[in-house]
Structure formats: structure tokens, C-alpha cells
Structure 1
Amino acid sequence: MELMTLLPFIAIIAFATYVQTVTGFALGMIVMGAVTTFDLVPIAFTSVIISAVTFINGLVAIKGNTKTLDLKRVGLTCAGMFPAIMLGLLLLDYMSEEFNHILQLLLGVTIIGAGLMIMLKPEPLKAPSSTAMFAGSGAAAGVMAGLFSMAGPPLVYLFYRQPFDLKTIRLCLVSIFLLSAVARTGMVGAQGGLTMDMLIFSVFCIPMVTLFTWVGKRYPPPLSNTNMRRFAFFLLIVIGASLVLKNI
């Protein structure tokens, strides 16, 4: 990868990691949207890097907290998600070659939808959702994970509606994202889609993610949680709208 591509990519990773640390979401959407908007590298390349970053983040978050997990719901969600990841990858391979503009337009619409969803504050349900709901949301997330390495929006909305402890919800989501990253990377590798550039850049990202996670924890911006959500919402809408306008 050329230096003029590597440096802005690293800057985007650093910024997105900081935002993720202080808001709890949006890393994948910011990285994918910004990198694609500026035409730094293809969507398929960016997806692999996001998977690597998600994997590292998940390992750190879950360590020592496994007893808090709701393994049943994690398992149900992954049962629907894993087959759908392959479907998303097949769509990515096909659209990257034949319909790249449509793929970028779809990415923009997805990011705008995700931005709108993070502003919603759904009321918790009185009882957990059905098995089919977890599996179905997992399938929807799997397609998004396969296409863009962005499994978050449908799962975040579903899990935050559950009558679970907040820590359990967050750890379940982190665990699912980690497993999604492992599954997606394994599938891409089996297809022969991993390159040396991807692997090398993933290694470069590890210290960057670690550093800006620490910076986010130590030096959060002087904003309330509500204003941080508004900032993330505004950022995602701008990125998504840029992609949509660029490809209309």
C-alpha cells in the first residue's frame, strides 16, 4: 500500500477508534464510509481490516467477563448469522466486479439508516424476544457483515430492547461481533481473498487501536452522552449522504 493511502487510512482508523471508545459504537461504519468516500481502497480490503480491529477489540472487552454473557442468545444470533455472512460475501464479490457504484450507494443508504437507528431509544421489552427474532436479526446482520463488515445496526437495536443488564447486552454484542469477525475472515481466507497487504496493515492497526482506545478512555470530549450520540449521528449522516450523492 502506498504511503499516501496508508497515512489517511491510519488517521481514519485512529479517529473511528476514539469515537467508538467514547460512544460504544460506529467504528466500522465510520471506517468503511470514510475510506470508501475518499476512494482509498476497495470495500473488500476495508472489510478485512475492520474485522481484524473488531477481533482485537472483542478479545480485550470479553477477557474476564465471560460469566456475564447470555450464551443462549449469542448462540441463537450466530446460528442465523454465520450462513448469511457467506451470502453477503458472495454478493460483495459479484457487486464489486459488476456493480461497484450500486454497492457504494447501498453502503451509503445502510450508513444513513444506521445513523437514524442510533438516535432511537427503544423501550425495553417485558420479556426476551423469541428465538426466531434473534436468529432473523442474526441473518440480517450476517448479510451486512459479509458485505461491509458492519453487523451492528440490527443487533444493537434488538439487544437494547431486551430486559437484560446493560453490561450483558454490551458483552453479548461484542462477543457476536468478535465471532462474526473470525467467521468472516476465515471465509475470506478460504476463498483466497486475503492478501499480504491486508495482513500487514491489520498488524499496523493493532497498536493504533490500542493507543486511541486509551486516549478515548483517558481524554473523553467535554460532551454529554446525548450530545455524543448526536455527534455520531451527524457524522454518519454526512458520510452516508456523501456516498449516496457520489453514486447517484
Structure 2
Amino acid sequence: MTHEKVLVLIVLIGFASYFQTITGFGLGMIVMGATSGFGLAPVASIATLMSLVTLANSAAALPGKLHHIDWRAVGAATLGVLPSVVVGVLVLEYLSASAAGILQLLLGGVVLYGGLSAALRPAPLAQRSNDRSFFVSGVCGGLLSGMFGVSGPPLIFQFYRQPLKLIEIRCALILIFAVTSLTRVLFSAWEDHLPSSICLEAALAAPVVMLMTVAARHYPPPLSSLATRRLAFGVLMAIGGSLVLCAVKALVR
């Protein structure tokens, strides 16, 4: 990338880091969407970069907050995420382009519908869901990550529907995405797919990520719990819409 593109990318990562710290998600999805839309860099390179900067975000966001985490929910979701990422990659390899496009269209429609229905009824559930439902959300998130590089929607929907405090939701999601990112980084390093250029870009972005994360911790926007939940579900709708749009474009080619 040119120096100008690197600068734009770092500014974008800084904004997305602030957003992720106040909601628990969004860093990878915002940057991946913007970079692919504006053609700043190859998607595969950005995915690896996002895994590295997500670790920097979690390192600045989680200290002193671990006591807010529902460890049973996070553990169940993580057990579902890690193996299903591999399954998603293998399934995508065996699907034809048209079949993968149809599946992406269906998944995008489900995410869009889930975000819309939740936005209309943003109040949390009366009781916490059982551990099995967290595991299932992790499996669905892992499959989406392996097939389309978008692991967030099932996990976001699951946690934001729980009768938990927002800080508990944020910390849980940040931790899960950090574990997923660490797994991807280690796998990329083992496969020798972690180029020095990506490491350099991550090193340049890391101070900005940590600065914006600390800023979000100390100066969050004045949003109520209800407004934050609506914001989360609105982003889910945008993600679902983008999945549908990309699938339709691929199918009509």
C-alpha cells in the first residue's frame, strides 16, 4: 500500500477501535467493509491485520474488567467457535461458487431479519439463556467466520439479547474475538502466512488502537442502554444487508 492508503487505514482502524470498545464488536467488520469497498488493500491481508490489531484492542480494553465476564457463557461460545471455523473453511472449499452465493444470500437474509426484529424489540430477555444456546451461537459464528470472514452476528445477537449489563456484554464479546484472533494469528504464523509488511502495519496501528481504546473507556458516548442495544442491532442489519448485496452481485455475474 502507498503511504496515503496506510494513513487512511490507520485512521479507520482507530475509529473502529473506539466503536468496538463501547459496543464489544465492530473493529474487523467496519475495517473489512470499508477497505473492500474502497479497494484500499486485499481482503486476505486486511483479515490478518485485523487479527493482530484486535489483540491490541483487547489488551487495552480488558485489564481491570475481567470480573465482569460471564465465564460460562464465554467458554461455551468459544468451544463452539474454534472448531466450527475450520469446518466453515472446509465446507466453502467443497461448495460451488453458485451454491456458496446462495448460502451467503440466505445467511445474509437471516442476519438482516434478526437485526430488524431485535431492533424493534430491543429489550433483553427476562432470563439468561442456557449454556447450550451460547455454544450454538459460537458454532454459527465460527461457520460464518470460516466461510465468509464474518463471525460476529450470531454472537452479537446472542449476547445483546441477554439480561446482562452492557459492560458484561462488551467484555465478553471482546474476549471471544480476541481468542478467535489469536487462533488465526498462530495458525497464519504456522502456515508461514504472516508477512513482515502486515506485522509492520500492525505495529504502526497498535498505538492508535490502544489510544482510542483507552479514550473509549474513559470518554464513552452518552448513550443509554436501550440506545446502545439499538445501535448494535442496527449494525447487524447493515451487515446482513451487505451480505445479501454481495451475494446478489456474485449470482448475477
Tell me the TM-score normalised to structure 1 length: 0.75
Q: In 2, Cα distance between the equivalents of 1:72 and 1:143?
A: 21
**Does the CA-based 8 Å contact 1:141-1:155 persist in structure 2?**
yes
Cα 1:29–1:50, aligned 2, differ >3 Å: closer, same or farther? same
**Per-residue CA shift, 1:15-56, capped at 9, x if unaligned?**
323443455532221101010112222221111111122212
Q: Point out the more displaced range, 125-134 or 212-221.
A: 212-221
Q: In 2, Cα distance between the equivalents of 1:22 and 1:115?
A: 24
Q: In 1, Cα distance between the equivalents of 2:52 and 2:16?
A: 14
Q: In 2, Cα distance between the equivalents of 1:34 and 1:234?
A: 16
Q: Secondary structure at the match of 2:202?
A: helix
Q: Secondary structure at the match of 1:127?
A: coil
Cα 1:6–1:245, aligned 2, differ >3 Å: closer, same or farther? farther
Cα 1:189–1:137, aligned 2, differ >3 Å: closer, same or farther? same
Q: Which amino acid aligns with 1:185?
A: V
**Per-residue CA shift, 1:89-126, capped at 9, x if unaligned?**
4567x59xx96xx78x959x859946972745444333
Query: What does residue range 170-181 of structure 1 map to in structure 2 within 5 Å?
Result: 170-181=170-181
Cα 1:54–1:119, aligned 2, differ >3 Å: closer, same or farther? farther
Unaligned runs of 5+ in 2: none
Cα 1:8–1:162, aligned 2, differ >3 Å: closer, same or farther? same
- 1:126 corresponds in structure 2 to 126
**Does the CA-based 8 Å contact 2:111-2:237 persist in structure 1?**
no
Q: In 2, Cα distance between the equivalents of 1:80 and 1:232?
A: 23
Query: What does residue range 143-182 of structure 1 map to in structure 2 within 5 Å?
Result: 143-147=143-147, 149-182=149-182
Q: Which amino acid aligns with 1:39?
A: G
Q: In 2, Cα distance between the equivalents of 1:115 and 1:33?
A: 20
Q: Point out the more displaced range, 70-79 or 184-193.
A: 184-193
Cα 1:68–1:11, aligned 2, differ >3 Å: closer, same or farther? closer
Q: In 2, Cα distance between the equivalents of 1:85 and 1:110?
A: 18
Query: What does residue range 34-183 of structure 1 map to in structure 2 within 5 Å?
Result: 34-90=34-90, 94=93, 106=104, 110=108, 113=111, 117=115, 119=119, 121-147=121-147, 149-183=149-183
Q: Point out the more displaced range, 76-85 or 157-166.
A: 157-166
Quote the offset at 1:14 in angstroms.
2.6
The alignment covers a number of residue pairs equal to 242
**Does the CA-based 8 Å contact 2:61-2:217 persist in structure 1?**
no
**Does the CA-based 8 Å contact 2:160-2:169 persist in structure 1?**
yes
Unaligned runs of 5+ in 1: none
2:172 is the counterpart of 1:189: no
Q: Which amino acid aligns with 1:50?
A: M
Q: In 2, Cα distance between the equivalents of 1:51 and 1:74?
A: 19
Q: In 2, Cα distance between the equivalents of 1:128 and 1:231?
A: 22
Percent identity reads: 33
Quote the offset at 1:131 in angstroms.
3.2
